[in-house]
């Protein structure tokens, strides 16, 4: 029984897109840079590390470009992720019983645009919050300075989000956002533990799961607005390494 389903989920996503747009699927498969999607591992209960044959499991897919997002939405109505379709993961058959796209339907679902995410930055009159709280539901890990870093340090978290934002958003943020997170943001509360994931070719990735709270040390409206925008982006972009294969599933939460 596979203990990590992230690679299988990625293959399911590419196959689903290929059914609707073969050229796009090929482009996503061959791309060696930042990829405009994320895929989770299976979320659910695994009694004695086995599948519960009477249970339900959840997969999450996100798109960071219009083309990928539109293909994923189509897949939920007329493609591989439509209710009633059979979905194969690592040669195990699953039945699709529901698909959720809107925030009101599922806590991890949602739709937005880069403009809407930036709305809090350009249209909000009150001072943005100085605290940012995240739920890390799958191992969060970074590759930095030729090392693996499993701790959610502020500059790594917001730096990862900044990199993806500038890769896909129509309006880039300044590189100094990461510097601000490094020098003016601190971890103020956390409830974390380490968790391992078995990746491609037997590689083991150990990352952090749980909850973490960051607090800014000053009240600079401009920089806080940038961080607030990136915090909302986390649910779609994922954080850190391996987000196309189940790692780094992160979302902002309002309470700890």
Spatial contact of 25 and 10, defined as CB atoms under 8 Å apart: no
Q: How many CA atoms within 13 Å lie on the side-chain side of 56?
A: 5
Q: Which pLDDT value is given to residue 17?
A: 98
Instruction: For residues 60 and 57, give the distance between their C-alpha atoms in angstroms, rounded to a whole number.
Output: 10
* Selection from 44, 151, 36 nearest residue 97 by Cα: 44
Residues 65, 154 within the same domain: no
Q: Please give the model's pTM, rounded to 2 decimal places.
A: 0.94
Q: Is the pLDDT of residue 49 over 90?
A: no
- Looking at the structure of the chain, the number of domains it has is 2
Q: How confident is the model over 81-107, as pLDDT tens digits?
A: 999 999 999 999 999 999 999 888 888
Q: Which pLDDT value is given to residue 192?
A: 98
Predicted confidence band of residue 254 (pLDDT cuts 50, 70, 90): confident
- 89-116 in b/e form (b: 16+ CB < 10 A) is beeeebebeebeeeeeeeebbbeeebee
Averaged pLDDT score across all residues of the chain = 93
Residues 80, 145 within the same domain: no
Residues 247, 129 within the same domain: yes
* Selection from 148, 153, 150 nearest residue 139 by Cα: 150
Residues 130, 83 within the same domain: no
Q: Which pLDDT value is given to residue 125?
A: 62
Average pLDDT over residues 51-66: 94
CA distances from residue 59 to 50, 75, 104, 233 in whole angstroms, order as listed = 17, 13, 17, 19
Residues 140, 199 within the same domain: yes
Predicted confidence band of residue 223 (pLDDT cuts 50, 70, 90): very high
Q: How confident is the model over 150-176, as pLDDT tens digits?
A: 999 999 999 999 999 999 999 999 999
Residues 133, 244 within the same domain: yes
Q: Which pLDDT value is given to residue 124?
A: 59
Average pLDDT over residues 107-132: 83
Q: Is the pLDDT of residue 253 over 90?
A: yes
Domain CATH code at residue 229: 3.30.70.1900
Q: How confident is the model over 224-250, as pLDDT tens digits?
A: 999 999 999 999 999 999 999 999 999
Spatial contact of 187 and 213, defined as CB atoms under 8 Å apart: yes
Q: Is residue 155 part of a domain?
A: yes
Spatial contact of 180 and 157, defined as CB atoms under 8 Å apart: no
* Selection from 63, 76, 12 nearest residue 35 by Cα: 63
- Domain of residue 64, residue span: 6-95
């Amino acid at each position: 029984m596979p203990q990590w389903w992230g690679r299988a989920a990625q293959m399911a996503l590419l196959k689903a897109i290929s059914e609707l747009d073969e050229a796009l699927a090929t482009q996503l498969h061959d791309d060696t840079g930042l990829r405009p999607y994320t895929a989770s591992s299976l979320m659910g209960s695994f009694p004695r590390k086995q599948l519960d044959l009477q249970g339900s499991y959840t997969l999450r897919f996100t798109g960071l470009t219009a083309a990928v997002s539109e293909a994923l939405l189509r897949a939920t109505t007329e493609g591989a992720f439509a209710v009633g379709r059979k979905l194969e993961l690592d040669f195990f058959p699953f039945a699709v019983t529901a698909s959720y796209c809107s925030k009101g339907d599922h806590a991890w679902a949602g739709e937005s645009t880069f403009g809407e995410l930036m709305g809090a930055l350009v249209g909000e009159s009150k001072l943005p919050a100085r605290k940012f709280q995240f739920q890390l539901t799958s191992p969060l890990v970074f590759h930095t300075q030729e090392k693996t870093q499993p701790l959610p340090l502020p500059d790594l978290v917001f730096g990862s989000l900044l990199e993806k934002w500038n890769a896909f958003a129509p309006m880039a943020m300044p590189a100094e956002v990461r510097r601000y997170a490094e020098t003016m943001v601190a971890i103020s509360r956390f409830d974390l533990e380490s968790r391992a994931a078995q990746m491609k070719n037997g590689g083991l990735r150990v990352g952090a799961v749980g909850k973490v709270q960051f607090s800014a040390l000053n009240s600079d409206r401009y920089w806080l607005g940038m961080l607030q925008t990136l915090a909302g982006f986390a649910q779609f972009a994922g954080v850190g390494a391996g987000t196309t294969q189940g790692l780094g599933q992160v979302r902002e939460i309002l309470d700890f």
